[in-house]
Amino acid sequence: MTIQRRVQELYLQKFNELHVSNARPETQAQKHAMQHAFERALAEYPNECASTLWKCVHSAHITRKSGAELTSEQINEVISAEQSWKKSSGHAFEEFLPKFYNPSLEEHGIKICLQREVSSLLTNNQLHNRPRDIEILSAWLGQGVFDLYTVVCHEGRNFVIGTIQAKTSIRDRVTRDREPAIQAMETFFWATAIVLDGDFLRLPKFQAMVNGGTRNFSQNGWHGMYVFSELERNDRIYDQSDFVQHCVIAKDLWLNERQEFDINWYPNSD
C-alpha cells in the first residue's frame, strides 16, 4: 500500500467514526481526522518527510470532499488555477462592463471609463471638473479605490460624474467598498455598484449595507446597486437593465443641480 493510500485510509476511518456515526459535526470530524491521520502517519513512516505526509492528509481531505482522487501536485495545480481565476476574473468583469453599456450610453454623451482611461484624461488636462473634484479624483486614482468611472462629455468638455464598483459577487470585500462609496456620495458624485451575482443580496445584512435603515447600517451605502443575476429588487437594488436610464437621469442632475446630488438622492427623485 502506498503512503498516500494509507493516509487516506487513516483519515477516512477517523472521519467515519466521528461523523458518519453522528458523534461529531462534519467540521469537527474532519479536523480530528486530519490530526489523527497525520499523527499516525508520522508514527508509521518515521523516515518520511513530515511535509510530505501533511500533503497526503491534504489530498485525503480533498478526495473526500470532492469525490475526485487527486495527488498533491494536482491539488496545487487546482489551487493555482483558482488563484489565477480570482485575480483575473474581476478585471475581466470590469473590462466587460464598458463594452456592454457604452453603446447605449454614448448617444447620451455618457461613457463608462476604466481607471487607466480616467488617469489619461487627468494627465492630459482633459477633465474639466472643478479643482476640488480633481484633487479628490487624483487621490482615488492613486489608491485604486474605484474600478470604473462614469464620464460625461458636455459641450466638448469631459466631467467625471460618478464612481462604479464592479463585483462578480456582492460578498467580495463589500464592507470595505461601502466606505469609499459613501465618501463619493458625500462629495456629490453618483456612487454605484454593478454586481454579476446578487445571491447574497437576499440576506438582510447585505440588503442593509446597500439600503441602510438598520442599527449597523443607518445610511445607504450606494445611490444604487445594479444586479445581473439572482435579483430581488429592494429599494436601491435594481436590475442591471435600469443602469442606462439612471445614468441619463444622473447626468442631467449632476450638470444642472449638483448640490442636490447628496447621499439621499434616488434616480427616481423628482
* Residue found by looking up cell 502506498 in the block: 2
Computed over every residue of the chain, the mean pLDDT equals 89
Band of pLDDT at residue 260, cut at 50, 70 and 90 = confident
Q: What separation, in Å, do the N-terminal and C-terminal C-alpha atoms of the chain show? A: 76
Q: How do residues 92-107 score in pLDDT, each as one tens digit?
A: 899 899 999 999 999 9
For residues 227 and 219, is the Cβ–Cβ distance under 8 A? Answer: no
- The pLDDT tens digits of the residues spanning 196-221 come to 888 888 889 999 999 999 998 999 99
In which band, very low, low, confident or very high, does the pLDDT at 270 lie, cut at 50, 70 and 90? very low
| 17 DSSP assignment | I
In 3D space, the residue among 152, 143, 247, 144 whose CA is nearest the CA of residue 194 turns out to be 247
DSSP state string for 247-263: HHHHHHHHHH-GGG-ST
Do residues 219 and 181 touch, judged by C-beta distance below 8 A?
Answer: no
CB 53 within 8 A of CB 38: yes
CA 235, distance to chain mean position in Å, is: 21
Look at residues 201, 193, 194 and name the one whose alpha carbon lies nearest to residue 230.
201
180 contacts 221 by C-beta, under 8 angstroms: no
Q: Per-residue pLDDT for 121 more than 70? A: yes
**Per-residue confidence (pLDDT) for residue 201, from 0 to 100:** 87
Identify which of 162, 210, 165, 166 has the alpha carbon closest to the alpha carbon of residue 190. 162
3-state helix, strand, coil in the chain (%, to 5): 60, 15, 25
Average pLDDT over residues 151-164: 97
Q: Using one digit for the tens of pLDDT, what is the confidence trace for 15-48?
A: 899 887 776 688 888 888 999 999 999 899 999 9
